[in-house]
C-alpha cells in the first residue's frame, strides 16, 4: 500500500484525522484558506504547494498525508489560535512530520531538496 | 592494500589504495570533515560559503547502555545544551522556594517530574538535530551518518549503521571527532554505570545517585540532580576541578556541601555490583581509600561516572596516513594553524593537545581555519583569555589566569589580588547565604596593574563574565575598572 491523502479544514478536523491514523507515519501541510477560485490568501503557500506535491510520491509506504486549511487570514494572524498554541506552528506554509521535531517553515517549503529530505529520511 | 565496496559512479577511478598506486588527482570532495559536532559543522558550513564541495561524516557509537543521538555532537546532544536546561530546572526549583518569601502563595507541595523535564529537553534537542540537517542540505553540504576512518592517502572509508562501506577521497580533511566519557576499568562499570552520555535521555528518574569524579561535568550534574530533590553523593579521588583556580573550586564544593550534596573525599570505586534489577535498580559500590587501606560500601540507584573524557582518535586510521597523536592521551598536536604533521589533514576541537575544550573555541577555530584555507584570510584562533563558566548550583565564571598560575608565571610579589564577597539583592529577602558569592581579579603590577584574571562566583556568572572577557581582551587595567561606574543594583557592580 502506498500513501494516502486526507483533506481537512480547521484545528478540530486536523486533530481528529491525526488521531485516527495513529500508528502510521503522518505528514501534514498547513495552508491558508482558499477562495472560490482555489487560490490561497497566503502567497507563500501558493508557491510551496506545487514543489511539495511533486515530492509526494516519495512518501514512505503506509504514510498518511494530511492537507490542512487552517482558516482565513484574520484567524491565522490571531496569536492565540489553536494551531499556534497547541501545534506550535509559527507560520504558513508549514510542512511537518507529525510527532517529531522535523518540519519546514515558509521559504524552506520552496526547496525541493529539503522537502525530499523531510519525506524520505529518518 | 585495501579494497572496499564502492557504490560510486566513477568506474575509471583507481580505487585500489596501496603503497604503489598513485592517488588520483581529482578528488571526490574539496573537504571532508570527520565529526558533526560544534567544530565540524561550523567548519563545513563555512567552507560551503566559498562554494567548496564538502562532506560531513557523523556517527555516534552507542554507549554501553545503548544510548545514541543525532547530528550536532556532544554540546547539543549530551553536553552544554541539556546540561544548562537541567541546571535551569534545578534553579527554578530553588526559585519556587524563594518565591514564598516574596509573597507567592501556594499550598500544594512542589514535586518534580524527571520524565516531563527530560521529554521537553529531548524535544528541543531533536529540533536542533533537524535544524542542522536542514542547514547542511540547504548549503549543499553532503552529510552521511557513517563512521569515517582513513584507509590511505587522501582516502576515507565511511561505514553506516547497516555496515555498508563507501570510499571517498578529498583534497583536505578536518578531524573533529571529539571525545567520549572514560570508564573506570573496574568490574561492573560498563554493565551498571551510566555516564553523561546516558544521563540526559535517561528514561527513568535516576533516584539516589553516586557521582564519581570531580570534574566540572561531575559537579554540574551532581548540582542539578540535588537541586531536583535527589539524594546525591560525589566521590572524589583527590581535588575538585583540576586546572581551575583552587580557591574558587573549594568555595564551590563548600556551597554544594551546605546545600544537600554529600562528598566522599579521597576514595575510588573498585567494584560495582547489582543488588536489584530495575529502572532504576539498586547498585552496591565498593570503594577503597587513596590514603590508606580503608574499604567502604554504599548502595545507590544510579552510579554516574564523570572521571574524564578520551579523544576519539584511536580507531580512525590515523596510522594509515601517518598523523601523529600523543600515544598516552590520544590527543592530536597541531601547529597554530590547526594543521597536523600531515599537511592536508587538520584537526579542531576537544581532540587538540593543550587547547581548551569548549564549543565556542572549536567553532572559532573551525571557521578561521576554513577562511584561511579558502578565503585567503590570515587570522589565527586566539586561545588566550577565553572565558568559561561552570554551571554548578553556585555558578562560577572565569577568564584569564587562576591565582596559582598567575603566581607561578609572574611571581607572587608581582601580582595583586582584589577580592570581595557580595550578597545578591535577590537573595536578601529569602534569607539566602550572605557570605558565599565572591569575586576576585588578579592584576599584573609590572604591567600597569593589567587585569590578567577575572573570577566570579554567583548567580548568572556566565552573563557577568562575558562582558569582562571583552574588556580583558582590550587590556583592561585596575584603574580603568575602578573608573567604570557600576550598575546598581546588580551583582556585576562589585
| Record: contact B134-A113, CB cut-off 8 A | no
B152 shares its domain with B238: no
B353 shares its domain with B423: no
B101 shares its domain with B244: no
B37 shares its domain with B173: yes
B144 shares its domain with B277: no
- Among residues A2, A3, A35, A28, the alpha carbon closest in space to that of A13 is found at A28
- Over the stretch B337-352, which tens digit does the pLDDT of each residue have? 999 999 999 999 999 9
Q: Is the peptide bond before B142 cis (omega within 30 degrees of 0)?
A: no
Q: The domain spanning residue B400 has which CATH number?
A: 3.30.390.30
CB B267 within 8 A of CB B289: yes
- CB of A90 within 8 Å of a chain B CB? The answer is no
B301 shares its domain with B324: no
* Cβ atoms < 10 Å from Cβ of B231: 15
Q: How far apart are CA B305 and CA A36, in angstroms?
A: 64
For this structure, is A42 an active site residue? yes
| Record: contact A117-B137, CB cut-off 8 A | yes
B5 in a structural domain: no
Dihedral angle computed from the Cα positions of residues B441, B445, B446 and B448, in that order, rounded to the nearest 10 degrees = 80
Q: The domain spanning residue B367 has which CATH number?
A: 3.50.50.60
- Over the stretch A25-39, which tens digit does the pLDDT of each residue have? 999 999 999 999 989
All residues of chain A having their beta carbon less than 8 Å from the beta carbon of residue B126 are 100-102
Of B123, B137, B138, the CB nearest to A101: B123
- Tell me the nearest-neighbour CA distance from A122 into chain B, angstroms: 10
CB B251 within 8 A of CB B457: yes
All residues of chain A having their beta carbon less than 8 Å from the beta carbon of residue B133 are 117, 121
B47 shares its domain with B172: yes
Nearest chain B residue to A121, by CA: B133
Nearest chain A residue to B128, by CA: A101
All residues of chain B having their beta carbon less than 8 Å from the beta carbon of residue A100 are 126, 130
- Tell me the nearest-neighbour CA distance from B133 into chain A, angstroms: 9
All residues of chain B having their beta carbon less than 8 Å from the beta carbon of residue A113 are 137-138
Q: How far apart are CA B16 and CA B18, in angstroms?
A: 6
Handedness of CA A17, A21, A23, A28 (dihedral sign): negative
Of B126, B127, B133, the CB nearest to A117: B133
All residues of chain A having their beta carbon less than 8 Å from the beta carbon of residue B124 are 101
3-state secondary structure of B171: strand
Q: How far apart are CA B192 and CA B281, in angstroms?
A: 9
B101 shares its domain with B168: yes
Low-confidence ranges of chain B (pLDDT < 50): 1-23
B492 in a structural domain: no
- Tell me the nearest-neighbour CA distance from A101 into chain B, angstroms: 5
- Tell me the nearest-neighbour CA distance from B127 into chain A, angstroms: 5
DSSP states along B219-280: HHHHHHHHHTT--EEEEESS-SSTTS-HHHHHHHHHHHHHTTEEEEESEEEEEEEEEE-STT
Q: How far apart are CA B180 and CA B172, in angstroms?
A: 25
CA B259 from chain center: how many Å? 25
Of B127, B129, B134, the CB nearest to A114: B134
pLDDT for B63 equals 97
pLDDT for B25 equals 65
B404 shares its domain with B359: no
Give B361's strand partners. Answer: none
CB B244 within 8 A of CB B337: no
B167 in a structural domain: yes
- CB of A103 within 8 Å of a chain B CB? The answer is yes
Q: Which residues of B are annotated as a binding site for FAD?
A: 84, 148, 350
Nearest chain B residue to A107, by CA: B138
Give A29's strand partners. Answer: A67, A95
pLDDT for B434 equals 84
Which residue out of B87, B259, B419, B488 is catalytically annotated? B488
CA B37 from chain center: how many Å? 11
- Tell me the nearest-neighbour CA distance from B7 into chain A, angstroms: 19
CB A75 within 8 A of CB A36: no
| Record: contact B126-A114, CB cut-off 8 A | no
Of A95, A99, A117, which to mutate for an interface test with B (greatest number of B Cβ within 10 Å)?
A: A117
B272 shares its domain with B298: yes
Number of domains in chain B: 3
B433 is in which domain, residue-wise?
A: 395-483
B188 shares its domain with B303: yes
Q: Between the CA of residue B58 and those of B41, B160, B211, B272, what are the distances in Å?
A: 10, 10, 29, 33
B296 in a structural domain: yes
- Indicate the residue among B280, B307, B334 that finishes a domain: B307
Classify burial at B165, counting beta carbons within 10 Å of its beta carbon; exposed 0-12, middle 13-18, buried 19 or more: middle
- Give me the half-sphere count of Cα atoms (radius 13 Å) on the Cβ side of residue B49: 13
pLDDT for B15 equals 44
Q: State in words which class domain A4-120 has.
A: alpha beta
- Average pLDDT value for residue range A94-120: 95
3-state secondary structure of B31: strand
Q: How far apart are CA B40 and CA B301, in angstroms?
A: 37
B57 shares its domain with B97: yes
- Indicate the residue among B248, B277, B307 that finishes a domain: B307
- CB of A102 within 8 Å of a chain B CB? The answer is yes
Give the ipTM of the model, two decimals please.
0.88
Q: Which residues of B are annotated as a binding site?
A: 84, 148, 213-220, 308, 350
- Indicate the residue among B287, B307, B327 that finishes a domain: B307
Handedness of CA B28, B30, B32, B37 (dihedral sign): negative
b/e burial code for range B182-194 (CB count within 10 A of at least 16 → b): eebebebbbebbb
Q: What is the pTM of this model?
A: 0.90
- CB of A108 within 8 Å of a chain B CB? The answer is yes
Amino acid at each position: 500500500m502506498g500513501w494516502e491523502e486526507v483533506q481537512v479544514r480547521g484545528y478540530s478536523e486536523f486533530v481528529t484525522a491525526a488521531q485516527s491514523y495513529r500508528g502510521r507515519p503522518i505528514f501534514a501541510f498547513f495552508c491558508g484558506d482558499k477562495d472560490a477560485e482555489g487560490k490561497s490568501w497566503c502567497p507563500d503557500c501558493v508557491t510551496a504547494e506545487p514543489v511539495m506535491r511533486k515530492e509526494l510520491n516519495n512518501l514512505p509506504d503506509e504514510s498518511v498525508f494530511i492537507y490542512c486549511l487552517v482558516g482565513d487570514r484574520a484567524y491565522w494572524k490571531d496569536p492565540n489560535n489553536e494551531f499556534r498554541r497547541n501545534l506550535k506552528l509559527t507560520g504558513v506554509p508549514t510542512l511537518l512530520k507529525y510527532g517529531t521535531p522535523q518540519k519546514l517553515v515558509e521559504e524552506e517549503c520552496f526547496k525541493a531538496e529539503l522537502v525530499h529530505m523531510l519525506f524520505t529520511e529518518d | 592494500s585495501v579494497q572496499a565496496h564502492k557504490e560510486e559512479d566513477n568506474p575509471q577511478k583507481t580505487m585500489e589504495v596501496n603503497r604503489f598506486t598513485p592517488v588520483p588527482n581529482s578528488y571526490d570532495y574539496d573537504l571532508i570533515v570527520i565529526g558533526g559536532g560544534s567544530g565540524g559543522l561550523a567548519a563545513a558550513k563555512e567552507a560551503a560559503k566559498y562554494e567548496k564541495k564538502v562532506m560531513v561524516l557523523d556517527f555516534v557509537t552507542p554507549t554501553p547502555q545503548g544510548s545514541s543521538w543525532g547530528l550536532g555532537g556532544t554540546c547539543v546532544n549530551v553536553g552544554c545544551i541539556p546540561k544548562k536546561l537541567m541546571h535551569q530546572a534545578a534553579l527554578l526549583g530553588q526559585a519556587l522556594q524563594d518565591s514564598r518569601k516574596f509573597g507567592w502563595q501556594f499550598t500544594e507541595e512542589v514535586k518534580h517530574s524527571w520524565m516531563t523535564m527530560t521529554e521537553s529537553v529531548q524535544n528541543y534537542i531533536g529540533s536542533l538535530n533537524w535544524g542542522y540537517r536542514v542547514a547542511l542540505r540547504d548549503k549543499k553540504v553532503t552529510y552521511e551518518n557513517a563512521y569515517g576512518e582513513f584507509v590511505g592517502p587522501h582516502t576515507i572509508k565511511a561505514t553506516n549503521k547497516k555496515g555498508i562501506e563507501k570510499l571517498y577521497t578529498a583534497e583536505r580533511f578536518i578531524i573533529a571527532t571529539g571525545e567520549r566519557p572514560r570508564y573506570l576499568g573496574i568490574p561492573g562499570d560498563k554493565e551498571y554505570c551510566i555516564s553523561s552520555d546516558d544521563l540526559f535521555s535517561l528514561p527513568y528518574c535516576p533516584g539516589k545517585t553516586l557521582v564519581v569524579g570531580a570534574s566540572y561535568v561531575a559537579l554540574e550534574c551532581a548540582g542539578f540532580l540535588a537541586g531536583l530533590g535527589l539524594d546525591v553523593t560525589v566521590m572524589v579521588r583527590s581535588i575538585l576541578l583540576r586546572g581551575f583556580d583552587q580557591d574558587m573550586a573549594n568555595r564551590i564544593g563548600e556551597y554544594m556541601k551546605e546545600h544537600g550534596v554529600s562528598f566522599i573525599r579521597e576514595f575510588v570505586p573498585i567494584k560495582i555490583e547489582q543488588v536489584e534489577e530495575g529502572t532504576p535498580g539498586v547498585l552496591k559500590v565498593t570503594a577503597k581509600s587513596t590514603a590508606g587501606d580503608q574499604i567502604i560500601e554504599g548502595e545507590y540507584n544510579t552510579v554516574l561516572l564523570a572521571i574524564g573524557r578520551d579523544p576519539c582518535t584511536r580507531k580512525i586510521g590515523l596510522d594509515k596516513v601517518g598523523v601523529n597523536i600523543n600515544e598516552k592521551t590520544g590527543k592530536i598536536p597541531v601547529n597554530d594553524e590547526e594543521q597536523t604533521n600531515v599537511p592536508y589533514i587538520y584537526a579542531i576541537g576537544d581532540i587538540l593537545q593543550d587547547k581548551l575544550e569548549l564549543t565556542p573555541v572549536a567553532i572559532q577555530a573551525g571557521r578561521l581555519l576554513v577562511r584561511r584555507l579558502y578565503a585567503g584570510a590570515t587570522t589565527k584562533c586566539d586561545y588566550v583569555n577565553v572565558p568559561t563558566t561552570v554551571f554548578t548550583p553556585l555558578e562560577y565564571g572565569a577568564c584569564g589566569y587562576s591565582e596559582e598560575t598567575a603566581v607561578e608565571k609572574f611571581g607572587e610579589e608581582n601580582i595583586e589580588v582584589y577580592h570581595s564577597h557580595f550578597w545578591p539583592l535577590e537573595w536578601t529577602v529569602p534569607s539566602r547565604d550572605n557570605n558565599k558569592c565572591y569575586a576576585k581579579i588578579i592584576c599584573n603590577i609590572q604591567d600597569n596593574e593589567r587585569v590578567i584574571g577575572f573570577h566570579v562566583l554567583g548567580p548568572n556568572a556566565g552573563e557577568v563574565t562575558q562582558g569582562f572577557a571583552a574588556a580583558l581582551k582590550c587590556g583592561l587595567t585596575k584603574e580603568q575598572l575602578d573608573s567604570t561606574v557600576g550598575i546598581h543594583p546588580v551583582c556585576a557592580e562589585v
